Structure 1
Amino acid sequence: MLLISGCAYPNAEETHPLLYPLHFFKSYLSDADGDRCPMYPSCSTYSMESFKKHGLFMGWIMSCDRLMRCGRDEIKTCPPIRINGEKLCYDSVNNNDFWW
């Protein structure tokens, strides 16, 4: 089971070198490019949370699933939430890991 799920890392963005690109994107590129994700938390934050909670393997699967759902039909079916006056689609890691 440990091999399949990977090890969860409480401070994943600081401790695991495979997550450095995500941390770089979130810290530098996302700030320069602007906030355009229609979901809350943003896809990069969602990915980081899934890696922290479920490890590299399942975190990767959950991140890919989220990227495929972002901005599509999910917007019509998810509960709306207002953040800074903007209506976003609430889609947390806890809402998507019920199946294990």
Structure 2
Amino acid sequence: MKPYSQSSTNNACQHLSIANSKIGEIMICPECGVVHLSLQSISLRLELEAFAELAKMVKQAKATIDQAQKFSSDPSSQPKQADGLPSTNPLAHEALMQENSYTYYPHKVH
């Protein structure tokens, strides 16, 4: 972990890099307890509790996606057409809705 400061002449936070990958980096300031999450051109500052909730939410979303992919790739779980053949639409969305009790709100990507 390397300390990082914006300027050595002021009392700016000392960021410690705690994780990084090809998509970004996570740093923390031990003094103020703020987590800095940088993903390409997006940067978020989160309190430790908020960061923990974000991590939990991302883990849950990953598990839901994995479950939906498993559902989509399992021919026995896919609905059948009237002729007995698997439907061309595996209803992965239905698997997502069954896995979670979330209400689905479609939205447009801008």
TM bracket, shorter-chain basis: under 0.3
Greater strand percent: which structure?
Answer: 2
Q: Based on CA coordinates, which of the two structures has the bigger radius of gyration? A: 2
Greater helix percent: which structure?
Answer: 1
Q: Which protein, 1 or 2, shows the higher relative CO under an 8 Å CA cutoff with sep ≥ 6?
A: 1
TM-score (norm 1): 0.26
